[in-house]
Amino acid sequence: MLSLLPDYADPLRLCSLGKAYEGAIPLADLHRLAPLLTSTEGEAAFVLAFGKDAEFGPTVRVRVRASLALVCQRCLGAMLQEVDSESRLVVVSGPDEAEQLPDDVDPLLVENARLELRSLIEDELILAIPPAPRHRPEDCSVKLGDVNAGHEPEPPVEDDGRRRPFAALADWKSDTENQD
């Protein structure tokens, strides 16, 4: 396996040669993925294996492992999403050829015999992000039982000994609302 990933390559040529690349790429170098993350610290480990399949012809196996920093959509806190994803892509020359593929493989449309190899890794990571990332219920600061019951968390009341001249107005307002 080769560790130096070229920027661009001809996937058909790589498939005919049976090339494979293995290594790691910094998350900060993946410019389409970066806006989806809260931090671009870390890297993604990858394996790109090009080959020929007897049934489909030129194929690419993409395996990516990374830890992505996301925002939990339940509590809006930071969370880590572990990604360990693998897919099999079949090199196709057009949409008609892509439609004939079975559901367990994805098409890889290649134009001008040139492909940015880094985009294969980035696409795999983007597809691994759930539409609404959330902590596991036991790890989230928002408890589902409270949300489902309609209870809002009570803000902590601190008595610092200061006189509150408008506190009586709050009581007066709640009294007039109850009369209506």
How many domains, the chain?
Answer: 1
133, pLDDT greater than 90 = yes
Give the chain as a DSSP string: -B----SEE-HHHHHHHT-EEEEEEEGGG-TTTGGG-SB--SEEEEEEEEEEETTTEEEEEEEEEEEEEEE-TTT--EEEEEEEEEEEEEEESSHHHHHTS-TTSEEEE-STT-EEHHHHHHHHHHHHS-SS----TTT-SS-HHHHHHTPPPPPPP---S---TTHHHHHHHHHHHHH-
pLDDT band at 105 (very low <50, low <70, confident <90, very high): confident
Percent of the chain whose pLDDT exceeds 70: 79
Query: What number is the average pLDDT over the span 12-20?
Result: 93
User: What does pTM read for this prediction?
Assistant: 0.75
Does any domain span residue 152? no
Domain range for 39 is 8-128
Q: Which residue has the higher pLDDT, 176 or 109?
A: 109
Task: For residues 71-94, give the mean pLDDT.
Answer: 92
On whether residue 141 sits in a domain, the answer given is no
